[in-house]
Amino acid sequence: MKKIAIPVDENDVLAQHMGHSKVFDIYDVEGTEVTRIVQLAAPPHQPGILPKWLIEQGVTDVLTGGAGQKAIDLLNEGGVDVHVGTPVATSAELVTQFINETLQFTGNGCSH
């Protein structure tokens, strides 16, 4: 089972920078089937808080446009795969493409 977190804006579209997102859509996925979707308010943007929170939620993968290297390192250390360079689309579109292995990633949209 995978638990995929996607930072989103008020229109349920990918928020480009993970650390600045106020909300995350979290999808539980078994095989290629979404079994549960929840939307959770993110903790305040402070160094190290968000990675810890995502790990506590049981997240296995994060789809994001960009993330700082420290956040990526902390998430990786906690067993979370971070997929940067995710294109802008709704979280439903992104998770469908991700589980069908058709999602195309570009470079990290964050420079810190």
d(CA 51, CA 67): 11
State the pLDDT at residue 110: 59
State the pLDDT at residue 106: 85
State the pLDDT at residue 46: 84
Q: Domain 2-99: give its CATH architecture.
A: 2-Layer Sandwich (3.30)
Residue 105, burial from CB neighbour count under 10 angstroms (0-12, 13-18, 19+): middle
In the chain (112 residues long), the average pLDDT of successive 10-residue segments reads 95 89 96 96 90 97 93 96 95 97 80 52
